[in-house]
């Protein structure tokens, strides 16, 4: 026990780091602030996991529940989640701004996430029109994950400028790991098989398809407990830091005086859409693409894709650790363009097939043939997809190399877009803007599966990866041409400023003199906090 106690003491924060020890917060406030930020990390991981954990298993699960549904309907099922998130993200952001707190929106969203995840795993209990109930369950999970906008807004408010790149890289790591670990968990429960364990007198199966939903339920209950009072405490410091840097006396007046470049903000929103679209397209298409191109069975595709995505998670983790050192050597916008978008372009181009022969073409399943649907005869590119017989196949080599470039480029791109976006907006409450950023990513996840159902199924790999390569290339050149606009507003630092501790009487007087709320969507409703500031002029005591 003594060794355990010493190890815990070793990892405890004993003092505020020197570079941020400027009197804006006590040691206890600093520790509470970072505890809250780490809880946000886990929430972002869970919301991403809720989307990705079913991706590799959703097609065989849907096919089992309703064999007549088809791949195009599968695209609608996958798109239902980001559609719900896209619609409700700006609303959640606006709501949290109005409340001035993120606790209530997050608690309610986690309750919805828990219920909807359990509903997804219980679809066998609704045999009538089950495919539509699947769409509803995924839509509700998407609505609950709209809390991502609230999380991003809080992250911008709860970190200093010097901490922002690290914090956003870690929250992006959590989010990307959620996207990648989800399929790995699906692969881990694959040994349960189609039957698994029987619940409710044989009416409900705990198998390789439903286990994922129950994993979400368990983790979301734990996340709900984290946001209860006593564990999660909100500490917002960004506006106070800028106010002190400018020598102001009001947080609200400080961020009102800083006008963000809205052209830059919208450029980053569009770039975020393109980046996420390409990543989600690959993740959504991965299982069916490998089944078509390499003649893998359901279980083989889920297993091998799970392994590939697990390796991708390790590569992404290493990449996230390198982002902060890279940004100390080069400007963030250049790391974004040349380290993120250029690698994503290469990843898409590499997926244009270069195999010597077309893939194995599989005939349509015929019950009268007396063979099971899992027979190797029926594995391969379906003959209903006319392009299968005339287009060359992907090779496993190019598939793996392309995925490797994506595993490096996507983490860099998604992290630095959010970092630069947060800095461009300045210290203002960012709930609505983060809702728009989240909404653009959701729109890409809506259109990605639809793209699979229409372009890939009907036109094939050349059109699919040709179009996405052009999208990435245009976005990269656009960012390169406008890179000078992707610089945060300059903040002049006054010559000499000293902070004075506020006693309770001064705090009350500050609240009395503070400006009142004017109803602006970006203005928090609570009283504006003031800090006592004493200017020392040219005194050497500063």
DSSP for 229-259 reads TTT------HHHHHHHHHT-S-HHHHHHH--
Q: What is the pTM of this model?
A: 0.65
Q: Residues 154, 11: contact at Cβ < 8 Å?
A: no
- Asked if 166 and 102 touch (Cβ cutoff 8 Å), the reply is no
**Topology match between the domains 24-257 and 260-490:** yes
CATH 1.20.1250.20 assigned to 260-490: yes
- For residue 108 the two structure tokens come to 């309610």
The b-or-e profile of 343-368 (16+ CB within 10 A means b, else e) is: bbbbbbbbbbbebeebbeebeeeeee
First to last CA, the chain: 47
Residues 468, 281 contacting (CB under 8 angstroms): yes
Which residues, 6+ apart, have CB-to-CB distance to 78 below 8 Å? Answer: 55, 58, 138, 284, 445, 448, 449
Question: Which two structure tokens, joined as six digits, stand for 239?
Answer: 């506006």
Check if the beta carbon of residue 398 is closer than 8 Å to that of residue 350: yes
DSSP string, 381-429: EETTSGGGGTSPPPPHHHHHHHHHHHHHHHHHHHHHHHHHHHHHHTTS-
Burial class (CB within 10 angstroms; exposed 0-12, middle 13-18, buried 19+) of 200: exposed
What is the per-residue DSSP string for 118-179?
HHHTTGGG--TTHHHHHHHHHHHHHHHTTHHHHHHHHHHHSS-HHHHHHHHHHHHHHHHHHH
Decide if 389 contacts 361 (C-beta within 8 A).
yes
Helix (H, G, I), strand (E, B) or coil at 197: strand
- Rounded CA gap, 212 and 463, in Å? 33
| C-alpha–C-alpha distance, residues 427 and 455, integer Å | 42
pLDDT for the residue numbered 478: 92
Question: Phi, psi (5° rounding) for residue 382?
Answer: -60, 140
**Structure tokens belonging to residue 454:** 């229409």
What is residue 221's predicted lDDT score, i.e. its pLDDT? Answer: 94
Q: Which residues contact 300 (CB under 8 A, 6 or more apart)?
A: none
**Quick one: tokens of 350?**
């590499």
Q: CA 514: distance to chain centroid?
A: 37
DSSP per position, 482-513: TGGG-SPPP-PPPS-EEEE---HHHHHHHHHH
Nearest alpha-carbon partner for 339 in 405, 419, 412: 412
Q: What are phi and psi of 205, to 5 degrees?
A: -105, 135
Q: How far apart are CA 71 and CA 59, in angstroms?
A: 7
Nearest to 340 by CA among 410, 401, 402: 410
Residue carrying the six token digits 């996840």? 445
- Which residues are within 8 A (CB) of 382 and not within 5 positions of it... i.e. 6 or more apart? 292, 361, 362, 364, 388
381-382 and 532-535 strand pairing = unpaired
Extract the tokens encoding 91.
């609303």
Neighbouring C-beta atoms of residue 508, cutoff 10 Å: 11
24-257 maps to CATH 1.20.1250.20:
yes
Q: Where are the domains of the chain?
A: 24-257, 260-490
Angle among Cα 175, 408, 398 to the nearest 5 degrees reads 120
The tens place of each residue's pLDDT in the chain, 542 residues long, gives 555 455 444 445 667 776 666 677 778 888 888 888 999 999 989 888 877 777 777 777 887 888 877 767 877 887 788 788 888 888 888 888 888 888 999 999 999 999 999 888 888 887 778 889 889 998 999 899 888 888 888 887 888 877 877 887 788 778 777 877 787 787 788 788 777 677 766 667 778 888 888 888 999 999 999 999 888 888 777 767 766 666 555 555 555 556 667 788 889 999 999 998 888 777 777 878 888 888 888 778 878 887 887 788 788 888 888 888 898 889 888 999 999 999 999 998 998 888 788 888 887 766 555 565 566 667 888 888 888 888 898 888 999 999 999 989 988 998 888 888 877 776 666 667 777 887 787 787 777 767 766 788 888 888 888 888 998 999 999 999 888 877 766 555 444 444 444 444 444 444 444 444 443 444 444 433 433 333 333 333 33
Pairing of strands 361-362, 381-382: parallel
């Amino acid at each position: 026990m003594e060794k355990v106690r010493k190890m815990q003491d070793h990892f405890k924060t004993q003092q505020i780091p020197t570079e941020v020890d400027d009197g804006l917060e006590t040691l206890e406030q600093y520790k509470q602030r970072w505890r809250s930020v780490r809880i946000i990390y886990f929430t972002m991981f869970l919301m991403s996991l809720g989307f990705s954990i079913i991706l590799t298993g959703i097609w065989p699960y849907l096919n089992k529940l309703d064999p007549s549904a088809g791949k195009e309907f599968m695209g609608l099922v996958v798109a239902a989640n980001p559609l719900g998130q896209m619609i409700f993200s700006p609303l959640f952001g606006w709501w949290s701004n109005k409340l001035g707190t993120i606790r209530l929106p997050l608690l309610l969203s986690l309750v919805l996430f828990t219920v909807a995840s359990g509903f997804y795993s219980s679809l066998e209990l609704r045999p009538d029109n089950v495919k539509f109930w699947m769409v509803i369950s995924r839509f509700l999970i998407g609505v609950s994950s709209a809390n991502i906008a609230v999380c991003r807004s809080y992250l911008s408010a709860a970190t200093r400028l010097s901490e922002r790149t690290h914090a956003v890289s870690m929250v992006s790591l959590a989010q990307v790991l959620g996207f990648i670990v989800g399929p790995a968990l699906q692969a881990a429960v694959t040994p349960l098989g189609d039957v698994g364990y029987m619940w409710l007198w044989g009416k409900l199966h705990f198998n390789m398809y439903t286990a994922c939903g129950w994993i979400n339920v368990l983790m979301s209950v734990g996340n709900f407990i984290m946001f209860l009072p006593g564990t999660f405490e909100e500490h917002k410091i960004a506006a106070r830091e800028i106010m002190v840097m400018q020598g102001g006396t009001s947080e609200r007046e400080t961020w009102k005086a800083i006008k963000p470049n809205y052209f830059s903000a919208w450029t980053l929103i569009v770039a975020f859409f393109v980046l996420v679209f390409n990543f989600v397209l690959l993740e959504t298409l991965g299982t069916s693409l490998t089944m078509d191109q390499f003649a893998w069975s359901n279980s083989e595709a889920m297993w091998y894709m799970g392994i590939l995505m697990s390796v991708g998670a390790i590569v992404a983790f290493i990449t996230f650790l390198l982002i902060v050192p890279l940004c100390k050597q080069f400007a963030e916008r250049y790391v974004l363009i040349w380290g993120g978008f250029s690698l994503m372009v290469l990843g898409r181009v590499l997926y244009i097939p270069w195999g010597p022969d077309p893939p194995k073409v599989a005939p349509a399943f015929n019950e009268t043939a007396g063979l099971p649907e899992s027979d190797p005869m029926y594995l391969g590119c379906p003959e209903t997809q006319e392009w299968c017989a005339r287009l060359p196949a992907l090779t496993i080599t190019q598939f793996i190399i392309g995925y490797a470039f994506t595993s490096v480029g996507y983490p860099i791109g998604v992290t630095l877009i959010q970092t630069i976006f947060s800095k461009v907006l300045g210290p203002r409450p960012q709930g609505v803007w983060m809702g728009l950023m989240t909404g653009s990513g959701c729109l890409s996840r809506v259109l990605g599966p639809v793209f699979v159902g229409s372009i890939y199924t009907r036109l094939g790999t050349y059109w699919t990866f040709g179009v996405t390569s052009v999208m990435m290339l245009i976005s990269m050149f656009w960012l390169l041409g406008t890179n000078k606009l992707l610089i945060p507003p300059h903040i002049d630092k006054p010559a000499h400023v000293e902070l004075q501790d506020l006693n309770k009487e001064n705090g009350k007087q500050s609240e009395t003199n503070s400006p009142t709320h004017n109803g602006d969507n970006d203005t928090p409703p609570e009283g504006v906090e003031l800090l006592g500031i004493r200017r020392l002029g040219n005194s050497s005591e500063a």
